[in-house]
Amino acid sequence: MQEQLQQLKQEAISKIESASTVKELQDVRVAYLGKKGPITDLLKGMGKLPAEERPKMGALVNVIREEVTSVLDERLVVLEDFAIQQQLKNESIDVTLPGRPVKTGNHHPLTRVVEEIEDLFISMGYEIAEGPEVEKDYYNFEALNLPKGHPARDMQDSFYISEDILLRTHTSPVQARTMEAKGGEPIRIICPGKVYRRDNDDATHSHQFTQIEGLVIGENIRMSDLKGTLSVFAKKMFGDDREIRLRPSFFPFTEPSVEMDISCFKCGGSGCNVCKKTGWIEILGAGMVHPNVLEMAGYDSKRLSGFAFGMGPERIAMLKYGVEDIRHFYTNDVRFVSQFHRTEV
Ligand code: 2U9
pLDDT digits (tens, 9 = 90+) for 296-345: 999 999 999 999 999 999 999 999 999 999 999 999 999 999 988 755 54
Pair 249, 313 in one domain: yes
Instruction: Please give the average per-residue pLDDT across 257-282, as a whole number.
Output: 93
Residue with the bigger pLDDT between 274 and 260: it is: 260
Alpha-carbon span 154 to 146, nearest angstrom: 10
Residue 141 maps to which CATH number?
3.30.930.10
**Domain for residue 102, yes or no?**
no
CA of 213 to the centre of ligand 1 (A): 6
Pocket (CB within 6 angstroms of ligand 1): 144, 170, 172, 175-176, 179, 211, 213, 215, 251, 253-254, 284-287, 289, 293, 308-312
Q: Identify the three-state secondary structure at position 225.
A: helix
Total domain count for the chain? 2
Given a cut of 90, whether residue 171 has pLDDT beyond it is yes
CA of 239 to the centre of ligand 1 (A): 24
Given a cut of 80, whether residue 44 has pLDDT beyond it is no
**Domain for residue 317, yes or no?**
yes
Given a cut of 70, whether residue 172 has pLDDT beyond it is yes
Given a cut of 80, whether residue 145 has pLDDT beyond it is yes
State the Cα angle at 82 between 80 and 87, rounded to 5°: 95
Pair 323, 196 in one domain: yes
pLDDT band at 88 (very low <50, low <70, confident <90, very high): confident
| Residue pair 271/278 in contact by the 8 Å Cβ criterion | yes
At residue 46, the pLDDT reads: 75
**Domain for residue 147, yes or no?**
yes
Q: Residue type at 189?
A: I
pLDDT band at 100 (very low <50, low <70, confident <90, very high): confident
Given a cut of 70, whether residue 1 has pLDDT beyond it is no
| Residue pair 175/189 in contact by the 8 Å Cβ criterion | yes
At residue 131, the pLDDT reads: 98
Pair 174, 83 in one domain: no
Structural domain that includes position 68: 2-90
Name the residue among 229, 116, 130 with its Cα closest to residue 189.
130
Mean pLDDT of the chain: 92
pTM: 0.74
Alpha-carbon span 245 to 303, nearest angstrom: 29
pLDDT band at 87 (very low <50, low <70, confident <90, very high): confident
* Spatial CB neighbours of 341, under 8 Å, sequence gap ≥ 6: 104, 106
Given a cut of 90, whether residue 217 has pLDDT beyond it is yes
Given a cut of 70, whether residue 193 has pLDDT beyond it is yes
